[in-house]
A and B are shown apart, each in its own frame.
Chain A
Amino acid sequence: MTDIAIVSYAQAPMVRDAGCANEVELIMPVINEALQACGLARTDIDFVCSGSADYLQGAPFAFVAGVDALGAFPPIKESHVEMDAAWALYECYLKMLAGDIDSALIYGFGKSSPGNLPEVLSLQLDPYYLQPLCPDSVSLAALQARAMLDAGRCTREQMNEVVINSRRQAQKNPRAQLRKPVSQEQLQAEVDWIAPLKKSDCCPISDGASALVICRESQAREMGLPYARVVGMDHRIESHMLGFRDLTDSPSARNAAKSAGLHNNIEAAELHAPFSHQEILLRQSLGLSENVDINPSGGALAGNVMMAAGLDRIGSMAAAILRGDYKFGLAHATSGPCLQQNLVTILEAA
């Protein structure tokens, strides 16, 4: 148990193409919204950390230009991770635990529309053996889905159920990108895209940005702010080499969840599963019961802003707890091909 409180979360609507908005224009509204919602001034924030990747939009040092959105005067303490902003939150979490800081602003942004995202993501693969082959992210996920189906770890119908649930949940989320309900019959009739995946099994490509604010519980109470308490956070990594892994299991997610404080009273889980079979894989690896409400926000299948979607899982779960929907929640973030890296956050109502 920590004394770290999530007091604010803001998310821009997830869209297929944010038009000509640059990184500053994407980030600034969510930062201002997150700060205004909790009433902390910029000068009250001890540390700012962001997550983004310049390869997405094809603009070198966009992550530096993004700092223009912060009003970094007088000078601020600031850091960046070339990862999903869930890992930027993790950096802040560690600094809070170490006593370096007492509050932090975290933001993530992604503008994938200018490039070909599945190809851009091949840049994250090992540079000697895999990246020269340029395998796209959807094809690698399809290998994993095939392994799951062949091993009997999931069925086609179960994958469809994941999509149906995502669309059903997303209807409550005005910022979701894909909200149109689908039926088992419609999904069965859909043609394969990259077999065995159909388009509906894959997250959409999204542009957007999100921001989140944390501080000490004592400060949140003093200011009279509602908050969700961070029970624990941890992240673990699978081998870089896909051939060394059992693609049908996620020991890293399991170990991270255990270390973060996973318990049997979890009522809801936001799982960062960009592909339908990965939600099933994560539910199994984490041992979540049938009663756990999965992805009340709609999850990544309803909108997946690269470098913000993991933070969105944590922010969405915190927001659901703040609304009083749940007392205990789990949020999961992933990065890399086929759920290579997994970060788990356990949250609870204050």
Chain B
Amino acid sequence: MSSNPNESAGPVTMMQAPLYLQYRFTAGTSSLSFLHAIKRGRLIGRRCPGCESVYIPCRGSCARCGVATCDNIELTDEGVIDKFTVVHIPIPNNPIKPPFVVAHIRLNGADNAFHHLIGEVDNDKVKLGMKVKAVWRPESEWDYGLDNIRYFKPLGGEHD
């Protein structure tokens, strides 16, 4: 036995100190108009009064101009693929089986893009600039989220 009891016990490599904090999180005033709209199956963005850019979803400012966005703008559920990648790694607890396509979708009339899935097309047929349209879940499943849209599919006749 070592003369130092701490030494014989070995180093402490881990201690657990769990702490639980509860928050009543709020999304923001402009996010609120987006969330209320998508619950009803509609897509609402906001316009910058300075450079006229339209953002969806919008967080309340034009990051380029540093001014508050103003009018709500209703957009259609059609747009183009801005960027995409083919995901080959399975994500734990995700029902979607790889390989699948994740894309940045820029809706027609919008100046930013958001993430979504691409469906109803072979992965190797997906192209930049491809025109796509939202495929919505049944209305009974709509909630406050972008996953009311199941995925985006190519507009008919656009893919070869």
By a beta-carbon cutoff of 8 Å, the part of chain A in contact with chain B is 19-22, 24-25, 28-29, 31-32, 42, 55, 57-59, 65, 67-73, 113-116, 119-120, 122-123, 127-128, 131-132, 134
CA distance A154 to B17 in the complex (A): 37
In the complex, the answer to whether B19 meets A123 with C-beta atoms within 8 Å is yes
Chain A residues contacting B24 (CB-CB under 8 Å) are: 113-115
Chain A residues contacting B66 (CB-CB under 8 Å) are: 28, 31-32, 42, 69-72
In the complex, the answer to whether A114 meets B28 with C-beta atoms within 8 Å is no
CA distance A71 to B62 in the complex (A): 7
In the complex, the answer to whether B63 meets A115 with C-beta atoms within 8 Å is no
In the complex, the answer to whether A22 meets B26 with C-beta atoms within 8 Å is yes
Contact of A73 among B21, B25, B30, B63 (CB under 8 A): B63
With A22-B60, A24-B60 given, can you name 5 additional A-B contacts, CB distance below 8 Å? A20-B27, A21-B28, A24-B28, A24-B61, A31-B66
* Residues 10 to 34 of chain B near chain A (Cβ within 8 Å): 15, 17, 19, 21-32
Contact of A69 among B19, B26, B30, B61 (CB under 8 A): B61
Q: How far is the CB of A228 from chain B (nearest CB, A)?
A: 26
**A55 closest partner in B (C-beta):** B21
CA distance A123 to B18 in the complex (A): 11
In the complex, the answer to whether A131 meets B19 with C-beta atoms within 8 Å is yes
| 12 A-B contact pairs sorted by A residue (CB < 8 Å) | A22-B31, A24-B28, A25-B28, A25-B60, A28-B66, A58-B25, A59-B25, A68-B60, A69-B61, A71-B63, A71-B64, A131-B19
In the complex, the answer to whether B21 meets A58 with C-beta atoms within 8 Å is yes
In the complex, the answer to whether A115 meets B21 with C-beta atoms within 8 Å is yes
Interface residues as binary, B64-106 with A (CB distance below 8 Å gives 1, 0 otherwise): 1111100000000000000000000000000000000000000
Please count how many residues in chain B sit with their CB below 8 Å of the partner chain's CB atoms: 25
Q: A22-B27, A25-B28 are in contact. Are A73 and B64 (CB under 8 A)?
A: yes
Q: How far is the CB of A57 from chain B (nearest CB, A)?
A: 7
In the complex, the answer to whether B25 meets A25 with C-beta atoms within 8 Å is no
Contact of B67 among A71, A123, A127, A132 (CB under 8 A): A71
Q: How far is the CB of B106 from chain A (nearest CB, A)?
A: 19
Q: A22-B31, A24-B59, A128-B15 are in contact. Are A114 and B64 (CB under 8 A)?
A: no
Chain B residues contacting A114 (CB-CB under 8 Å) are: 23-26
Chain A residues contacting B21 (CB-CB under 8 Å) are: 55, 58, 115-116, 119-120
Q: A58-B21, A123-B19 are in contact. Are A28 and B64 (CB under 8 A)?
A: no
CA distance A24 to B57 in the complex (A): 14
Chain B residues contacting A31 (CB-CB under 8 Å) are: 66
**A21 closest partner in B (C-beta):** B29
CA distance A57 to B22 in the complex (A): 10
CA distance A42 to B60 in the complex (A): 19
In the complex, the answer to whether B17 meets A32 with C-beta atoms within 8 Å is no
CA distance A24 to B61 in the complex (A): 7
CA distance A113 to B23 in the complex (A): 9
**A29 closest partner in B (C-beta):** B68
Of listed B22, B28, B67, B68, residue having the most chain A CB within 10 A? B28
Interface residues as binary, B40-72 with A (CB distance below 8 Å gives 1, 0 otherwise): 000000000000000000011111111110000
In the complex, the answer to whether B29 meets A20 with C-beta atoms within 8 Å is yes
Chain A residues contacting B30 (CB-CB under 8 Å) are: 22, 25
CA distance A42 to B61 in the complex (A): 15
